[in-house]
Chain A
Amino acid sequence: MNSLLAVIRRDLLLAMRRKSEVLTALFFFMIVVSLFPLGIGPEPALLRKIAPGVLWVAALLATMLGLQRMFAPDHADGTLEQMALSPTPMGLLVGGKIAAHWLVSGLPLVLLAPVLGLQFDLDAGALGVLVVALLIGTPLLSLIGAIGAALTLGVRGGGVLLSVLVLPLYVPALIFGAGAVEAHISGLGAGGHLSLLAALLALAVFFAPWATTAALRIALE
């Protein structure tokens, strides 16, 4: 447990040293979301309808930006090999890195989303559901993304390849996440969507660190 916290602390410290990257992803999220009303038109009814989908798709893309750097620097300076050789199970350390990635690139999106939701004329209830859905969904994105990041570690054309691998796997998260907000707006209640999203998260917490570890060991061979 201590080593898990140590990994998280270390990654957060490293992220603090390169604040600009974290902020760039956040601004990317804001800009993408703000482009849609400009492209589609400012009618509030239409904007309310597309808001959940737009915010979620933008969140997917913004998470993608940080993924490639999840393991690449550690791979370059040999930290990853140290982790593979350390007595602590590597899955745990990888879990720590994923958690740190979420804290740096997922959590800010969750906090920023309600502000952007205001641009789309969402009411307070819908904003609440959006935050809860993103709170469950963004860790899921980090977990699935970690597998892709590990598979494409040190591979040529890694960035584009990573999005080709990972984005199709994001489809369920997108559907249930955006669906929760839509269901709430249309009065159906978001409970079903949110519990399915939570079930996916539970599944991913169990399997993703394991698959990521296997992929990392292959990359290290």
Chain B
Amino acid sequence: MNNRLINWFKFASPQSFYPLAGRMIPWFWALTAAFGVAGLWISFFVAPTDAQQGEGYRIIFIHVPASWMSMFIYCIMAGWAGLGLVFNTRLSGMMASALAPTGALMAFLSLWTGALWGKPMWGAWWVWDARLTSELILFFLYIGFIALQAAIDDPRRADKAGAILALVGVVNVPIIYFSVKWWNTLHQGSTINLTKAPSMAQTMLWGMLLMALCFWMYSIAVALMRARAIILERETHTEWVKQLDEVKS
């Protein structure tokens, strides 16, 4: 038991995580490419034209995965943050800050593609739909996290302060979603039902799942890359960093 714990924590040190992440990154890129090619093939060439929305519906193949990832990454980020606060491991904070920009990017892409989908389908670039509004607030939460970490010079303090903010945020996300939904139903005057998605054909679902997997693998790959850069930035004066091949050459 004790032995196993030690093994587990071994990878929690930046020194052993750095080469491990380096070995994992190419695999995640390969998976990203594989899922991406398969997903794009289905989204453009296999999935049939939608009866109501024509070809415009093909945007959901990136809109939905981006929205999923934006929420999922926030939860993972809060998970790392919680681990960092409980076990006081340095790696957790680095992972949380490595994930935040990717999560913010996913939230932005979700908003951007949502607007481009909304314009032809609902006739407006932006509607105060419950999901879009919550996504916007989620984007603000990411920006707050990044801004807070950027404003604190001491990395250990930045990690811990960010961790508390992420945990407060993750408690608030469901409350915000619920309140926005409540607000939306109250104010839905004569507008059409905006949450109506095109009826999902089996192939569409497959395309969306593959694209979601592609986004997922991408997020892992890019977060690992960023984590490695953060490790180098923070461990500049340690001996092991000086002994790295990429530094020696």
Please list the residues of chain A having a beta carbon within 8 angstroms of any beta carbon in chain B: 147, 151-152, 155-158, 161, 164-165, 167-169, 171-172, 175-176, 179, 182-183, 196, 200, 207, 211, 214-215, 218-219, 221
Name the segment of B55-63, B172-180, B234-242 touching the other chain.
Answer: B172-180
Shortest Cβ distance from residue B183 to the other chain A in the assembled complex, whole angstroms: 5
Residue of A164, A169, A175, A221 touching B168 (CB-CB under 8 A): A169
Please list the residues of chain B having a beta carbon within 8 angstroms of any beta carbon in chain A: 85, 137, 140-141, 143-144, 147-148, 151-152, 156-157, 160-161, 164-165, 167-169, 171-172, 175-176, 178-180, 182-183, 186
Q: Tell whether, in the assembled complex, residue B140 and residue A168 are in contact, meaning their CB atoms are under 8 Å apart.
A: yes
Q: List 13 A-B contacts (CB under 8 A).
A: A147-B164, A152-B148, A152-B151, A168-B137, A168-B141, A169-B172, A172-B179, A175-B180, A175-B182, A196-B179, A214-B85, A214-B164, A221-B156
Residue of B164, B183, B186 touching A151 (CB-CB under 8 A): B164
CB-CB nearest in chain B for A158: B151
Q: Tell whether, in the assembled complex, residue A151 and residue B148 are in contact, meaning their CB atoms are under 8 Å apart.
A: yes
> A215 to chain B: which residues have CB within 8 Å?
161, 164
A167–B136 Cα gap in the complex (Å)? 13
Shortest Cβ distance from residue B32 to the other chain A in the assembled complex, whole angstroms: 31
> A175 to chain B: which residues have CB within 8 Å?
179-180, 182-183
Shortest Cβ distance from residue B162 to the other chain A in the assembled complex, whole angstroms: 9
Residue of A172, A182, A214 touching B175 (CB-CB under 8 A): A172
7 nearest CB pairs, A to B: A172-B179, A168-B140, A165-B144, A175-B179, A218-B160, A175-B183, A155-B151
Q: Tell whether, in the assembled complex, residue B148 and residue A176 are in contact, meaning their CB atoms are under 8 Å apart.
A: no
